[in-house]
């Protein structure tokens, strides 16, 4: 079972938009690293009103933010043009290298940084390797590339054991 625990998120919510960022800021968090596709908008979609509003809210609260994506720069820049965050493209997740770089760019530490993403084997695992608290959110849209669909099947197995372990602790 310990093998699977490396993929367990610290928190699991329906949406990145359900997180109480103000409460987390009060707890000492200062930086938020986000995945983009299926975390903030459907895969390949531009920023929408909701995502633009979220980044405005984060700035008003005092958060630094950064988009960490395995996509190429044109896709990440297109989304970022409307939300005005920092970003790293072709991040190589789950390697911890660019999670560490993200914290350097934001001026945060693992203790003051949180990560929000929709995939266990790239987003969550990479953030955990970097010592960052993780929020896994449900994918926004079911239509995904085939390699992601295959990973989702494995994620269902991990999430089954994750939920079971949470029920035992409760």
What's the CA gap between 26 and 154, in Å, rounded?
36
Structure confidence at residue 3 (pLDDT): 77
Q: Is 168 exposed, middle or buried (0-12, 13-18, 19+ CB in 10 A)?
A: exposed
Structure confidence at residue 154 (pLDDT): 78
What's the CA gap between 100 and 83, in Å, rounded?
22
Is the pTM value of this prediction over 0.85?
A: yes
Structure confidence at residue 168 (pLDDT): 78
Question: In the chain, what are the domains?
Answer: 2-169 (3.40.50.1000)
Structure confidence at residue 5 (pLDDT): 85
Percentage of the chain beyond pLDDT 70 is: 93
Q: Quick check: 16 pLDDT over 70?
A: yes
């Amino acid at each position: 079972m310990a093998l699977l625990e490396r993929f367990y998120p610290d928190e699991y919510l329906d949406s990145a938009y359900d997180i109480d960022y103000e409460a987390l800021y009060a707890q000492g968090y200062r930086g938020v690293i986000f995945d983009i596709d299926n975390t903030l908008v459907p895969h390949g979609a531009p920023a929408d009103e909701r995502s633009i509003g979220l980044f405005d809210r984060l700035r008003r609260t005092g958060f630094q933010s950064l988009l960490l994506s395995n996509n190429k720069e044109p896709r990440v820049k297109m989304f970022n043009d409307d939300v005005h965050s920092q970003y790293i493209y072709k991040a190589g997740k789950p390697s911890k290298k660019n999670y560490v770089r993200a914290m350097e760019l934001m001026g945060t530490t693992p203790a003051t940084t949180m990560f929000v993403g929709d995939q266990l084997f790239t987003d969550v695992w990479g953030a955990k390797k970097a010592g960052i608290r993780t929020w896994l959110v449900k994918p926004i849209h079911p239509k995904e590339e085939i390699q992601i669909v295959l990973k989702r099947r494995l994620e269902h197995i991990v999430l089954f054991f994750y939920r079971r372990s949470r029920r035992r602790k409760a």
